[in-house]
Amino acid sequence: MWIAHANNDWATRHAGALAALSVLALAIGGTQTAQAAPAAPATLAAPRARLRIPGGGPGIGFDDIGYFSVLDRVSIPAGRTGMLDLIDPRNGAIAARYRIAPAAANQAHRAGTTSAAYGDGYIFASDHEHSAVVVLNAHDGKAVSRVPLASEPDYVRYLGARRELWVTEPRGQQIQVFRIRSGAQPRFTLIRTVAVPGGPESLVFDSALGRAYTNLWKDKTAVLDLAHPGVIGTWRNGCAGPRGLALDEARQFLFVGCAEGAATVLDLRSGGRMLAKATVGAGVDIISYSAALRHLYVPGARAATLTVFRVSDSGALQPRALYRTAPGAHCVTDDGRGRVFVCDPRAGRILEFRDQLM
């Protein structure tokens, strides 16, 4: 792993993020007492590799990058280029490119395609230009269907247990749920439109409890019933501006990224009680969690850092490392084997890190 030590000016600008790694801001377990966390190595390591996305020179409004475990591919919906790129995590090379939407001049993350999901041999990718989801055959990348939406899409998620496609639509403050009938020409039937006033932001499924979770834009996470899609409750999540979500289904922990520069842990077994909160670099959006390594990855776009936490069995966030990313780098995913990918929207590229603390 190539490590480039930061110069003094960079370290000074990010002194707050460095200091945050040595203190767990809040650990709640019946009483609100702060607990010290082990000091993390202030590595400030540079990326192991930088992958430029074709056509990304002017900048790309990356958003929901992800990992398709069945395909062993990192999904890069490349914003304004209109392309969905699939990266082979073993060598960091682009393995496939699929046209989803027309190329756009707009660099914001509401242009082109910004979210994708895999399920049952299909890839589902958002098309902002036409407020739709494009459905591809995952084997050859050919478009086989298009699902029109009521509003502009944000997150696209596939619920395999129920053969459903869920699409969040923040402008409409709703989630549309479609039932899928597979075939050479798959058919999609809208079965529910779930109103989410004040949201939705991010979306994760909890098959163990039969729930889904999505954030509201201010201080709460909404709980939805998978069997009868609808909001059945809200929990305070410890964030002023909740953004990304991640789940440890086995240990029933829900992780929430806070835009102001924090991450929290909620206990799903006790009605969303907050177990821990840790300060990180400012500008948190999308987060990622490796269940195999028990590591939580939290990028701070304004701080240009990636903080790595180990999550204990009690839910405590133990800071392990701090990496240098790039200004505006707000999205992250990992392959569960220690390969971590962070978006660099301004430069139109993907930064690759190796988690050495497995």
pLDDT digits (tens, 9 = 90+) for 217-273: 999 999 999 999 899 999 999 999 999 999 999 999 999 999 999 999 999 999 999
Residue 296 lies in a domain: yes
pLDDT tens per residue, range 87-131: 999 999 999 999 999 887 665 666 799 999 999 999 999 999 999
Residue 22 lies in a domain: yes
Contacts of 107 (CB under 8 A, 6+ apart): 58, 59, 60, 61, 79, 80, 345
**Longest C-alpha distance within the chain, in Å?**
59
Distance CA 339, CA 337 (A): 6
Residue 76 lies in a domain: no
Q: What backbone torsions phi and psi does residue 120 show, to the nearest 5 degrees?
A: 50, 40
Residue 98 lies in a domain: no
CA 232 to chain centre: 23
Residue 46 lies in a domain: yes
Distance CA 254, CA 56 (A): 33
CA dist 358 → 153, 235, 331 (Å) = 36, 32, 21
Distance CA 41, CA 21 (A): 8
**Domains held by the chain: number:** 1
Domain encompassing residue 43:
1-66+246-358
Residue 14 lies in a domain: yes
Residue 350 lies in a domain: yes
End-to-end CA distance of the chain: 14
Residue 255 near residue 248 (C-beta atoms within 8 A): yes
Residue 140 lies in a domain: no
Question: Going residue by residue through the chain (358 aa), what tens digit of pLDDT does each one get?
Answer: 222 333 333 333 444 444 444 333 333 333 232 333 444 545 678 889 999 999 998 899 899 999 999 999 999 999 999 999 999 999 999 999 999 998 876 656 667 999 999 999 999 999 999 999 999 999 999 999 999 999 999 999 999 999 999 999 999 999 999 999 987 789 999 999 999 999 999 999 999 999 999 999 999 999 999 999 899 999 999 999 999 999 999 999 999 999 999 999 999 999 999 999 999 999 999 999 999 999 999 999 999 999 999 999 999 999 999 999 999 999 999 999 999 999 999 999 999 999 976 5
Ranges of beta strands (E only) in 196-316 are 201-206, 211-215, 220-225, 231-236, 242-248, 253-258, 262-267, 273-279, 288-290, 295-300, 305-311
User: Reduced to 3 states, what is the DSSP secondary structure of residue 159?
Assistant: strand
**What is this structure's pTM?**
0.89
Burial class from Cβ neighbours inside 10 Å (0-12, 13-18, 19+) for residue 309 reads buried
The conformation of residue 41, written as its DSSP 8-state character, comes to P
